[in-house]
Amino acid sequence: MRTLTWVSGVSLCVLFVVGCDDKKQETAKAPKAETTASASASAKPPPVDLGADGKKLLDAWVAAQNDGKFDAYAALYDASFKGVRRTSDGKEKTFDLEGWKTDRKKLFGKKQTVAADNLATKVEDGKVTLTFVQRWKSGKFADHGEKVLELAAKEGGLRIVREELKWSERGFEDGKDKPLDATALVSPITLRVEEIAMPDNGDCSETRLRIHLVDSKGTKLQVDHGVVTAVAGGAKKSGFLKPKDGGFTDLGEYCAGLKQGYTVKVTTDTVVALAAWTDEESGDGKETKVVAKLPTGAKVKLE
């Protein structure tokens, strides 16, 4: 009986010791779990680089158009989107998202080539503004101009909330004549357009346009752009055009198979010249050329 009791006592002791060891192991593990949880709570999420995210969205925007993937293109826009489209004659139209998608989808019907360069990125109050030169061509038509995309953080990442092509001109590449850089002028700025009569050339004569800019500090800049046709002896005398309907217009007179004139106006921080012509051989045509770049938001008085 004593032996049996002793053995039982040993058995009880062993069970007791094992139980104690289990408690010690649980106690030993607990601090590690707390340490892991504490470390996870103190870990900071990686910083968000909105500028880099904006560049990725722009790359995706360009790729979707070049690859002809309209659904991928449309997915980059937010439901609150507003878009501004300008025509070659200077008119502009504003679209909501559905209107924009309807208008843009037409361009995906055939191969188009899109490029974006000279990118400038501005990050402010959680929003990203991308300003760049957009180059576009499809079929026989090509143009380039300054495009602005405004992005906002939405569920799933950045989305486009506003888009505007501030100005554009024909050709995929930059023209030989670069616009006058007037961005250093101080607002308000006065714009005047002078006509300078040229000598008669056979049955025809021409009037050259000279564009004058004067800022609030008296700084003066000028640039010559374009000629207006007229019959010999019928060219206007040199002098300044009077502004009308938000611009300066002289559409010229028909002479020797050609009539050519211009409208000079201010469009979104640029001075543009809209050429209009009628040619016996090529027919009618229009083309917008950026003549000068103005400071952002400058107030311009036509005089």
Residue ranges of alpha helices (H) inside the chain are 2-42, 50-66, 70-74, 97-105
pLDDT-based confidence at residue 19 (cuts at 50, 70, 90): very low
63-77, 96-110, 185-199, 273-287: segment of lowest average pLDDT: 273-287
Greater model confidence, 128 or 178: 128
Interval 102-161: pLDDT, tens: 999 999 999 999 999 999 999 998 899 999 999 999 988 888 888 999 999 998 899 999
Conformational region of residue 267, where left means phi above 0, alpha means psi within -120 to 50, and beta covers everything else: beta
**What's domain 50-170's architecture?**
Roll (3.10)
- The token pair at 125 is 């109050």
Greater model confidence, 14 or 184: 184
Q: What is the CA radius of gyration of the chain?
A: 35
80-89, 133-142, 182-191, 213-222: segment of lowest average pLDDT: 80-89
Greater model confidence, 53 or 283: 53
Residue range(s) of every CATH 3.10.450.50 domain in the chain: 50-170
* pTM confidence score: 0.63
> Which one of 9-13, 105-109, 171-175 scores highest in mean pLDDT?
105-109
Could you tell me whether strands 127-138 and 113-124 are parallel, antiparallel, or unpaired per DSSP bridges?
A: antiparallel
- The token pair at 93 is 């139209």
Greater model confidence, 199 or 114: 114
pLDDT for the residue 101: 96
Q: Where are the beta strands (DSSP E) in the chain?
A: 77-86, 92-96, 113-124, 127-138, 141-154, 157-170, 180-181, 189-197, 204-214, 220-231, 239-240, 247-250, 258-266, 270-279, 283-293, 300-302
Please state, in angstroms and rounded to a whole number, the distance separating the CA atoms of residues 182 and 291: 10
- pLDDT at residue 17 is higher than 60: no
- pLDDT at residue 265 is higher than 80: yes
pLDDT for the residue 230: 83
pLDDT for the residue 205: 83
